[in-house]
Amino acid sequence: MLLITEDMRRIPATVCDVSNLGMRLEIAEALPLGLALRVDVHGVGASAIVRHCIVRNGKYEVGVHLAASLPETRTEGP
């Protein structure tokens, strides 16, 4: 998963938690509150705003509010 900033900086992220309105992500750098960015998951994206950012265990936990929900993907079993 990637976070893409307005200046096209690409920040790798690990998803920690997901809700209907947002996500908690782990990244290697701090992001300012209010930063607008794009969340990209395997080529599917959504606009987001950084709502909180804290340091925990040497990494940053970032909470983002999604402007629109990411579409659900379903996988079918064999």
Of residues 67 and 59, more confidently modeled: 59
Contacting residues for 13 by C-beta, under 8 A, at least 6 apart: 1, 2, 3, 25, 26, 27, 39, 62
Give Dmax over CA atoms of the chain in angstroms: 44
If you average pLDDT over residues 45-62, what whole number do you get?
Answer: 95
Tokens of 70: 């990411």
Torsion angle defined by CA atoms of residues 73, 34, 56 and 44, in that order, rounded to the nearest 10 degrees = 20
pLDDT at site 26: 98
Summarised one tens digit per residue, pLDDT across range 11-53 is 999 999 999 899 999 999 999 999 999 999 888 889 999 999 9
Domains of the chain and CATH, by start: 2-66 (2.40.10.220)
Asked if residue 70 has pLDDT above 60, the reply is: no
pLDDT of 13 reads: 97
